[in-house]
Amino acid sequence: YGATLDHTTAGLNGETSAAAVALQNDPALAKDLLWAAGCGGDINIVGMCLKQLDWKPDNSRWFSLLEQPLRLWRANPHRKFRDFDRSVYPEIFRMILDHGASPNLVGRYGYRIAHSLAACGVVWGEPIMTEIERVTFAEILCDYNADLNVIDELLQSTPLGWAVRWGKIELAHLYLERGADPTLAGDEWATPLAWAEKKDHTDIADLIKRYL
């Protein structure tokens, strides 16, 4: 009946043609459309939008865009059809970093993407991110020189501390291998080893001790 998709719906549902028309009519939609396509997992739309953005690496607007692929939106419990190529999400994450977004942007309370990688991946109590996927995202982040020796304001912990706090041994191992300081924290109670002992993650405690 002549109805048209709005740009957000086009991005979320991978309607490439509708997204291209929307972007051509209004290039200012690039940020919002990229946000939606990052959720929806459409590489083509992401590529079109990135061509319209020339922000500096430390522009804070990049932060929320980098977060979207980590949400694996199409794998969320509310989605009726969840069978798709999940590898598009790490690729979109890489595309945004490759376009110039800094891997060290600071979010609320001083946390970085390297911190949030440890805590994301669960929706409505259901795990939606595999540990292999988590490590894949982290490897990409480290390849773009993410600083792993930074402390957030809430937990007074490094990304390694967060990985330990949430029991992510594969992520903790990667961070240690990529140069994370195994003792760094904003307070004694927030060191990686303190978190491992507090949460009874004995396997991660043993891992950390090998790097002391």
pLDDT digits (tens, 9 = 90+) for 166-191: 999 999 999 999 999 999 999 999 99
Q: What is the CATH number of the domain that holds 164?
A: 1.25.40.20
Number of structural domains in the chain: 1
Q: What is the mean pLDDT of the chain?
A: 92
Structural domain span for residue 165: 103-209
Q: Considering the domain boundaries, does residue 201 fall inside one?
A: yes
Global pTM exceeds 0.75: yes
Between CA 139 and CA 119 the distance in angstroms is 16
Q: Considering the domain boundaries, does residue 183 fall inside one?
A: yes
Distance set, CA 30 to CA 38, 73, 95, 97, 151 (Å)? 12, 19, 15, 16, 32
pLDDT at 84 over 80: no
More confident residue, 127 or 153: 153
- Name the amino acid, one letter, at 190: A
Q: Considering the domain boundaries, does residue 92 fall inside one?
A: no
- Considering the chain, what percentage of its residues have pLDDT values greater than 90? 77
Q: Considering the domain boundaries, does residue 13 fall inside one?
A: no
Q: Considering the domain boundaries, does residue 127 fall inside one?
A: yes
Give the dihedral sign, CA 7/10/11/12: positive
User: Per-residue pLDDT tens for 130-145?
Assistant: 999 999 999 999 999 9
The phi, psi pair for 73, rounded to 5°, reads -55, -40
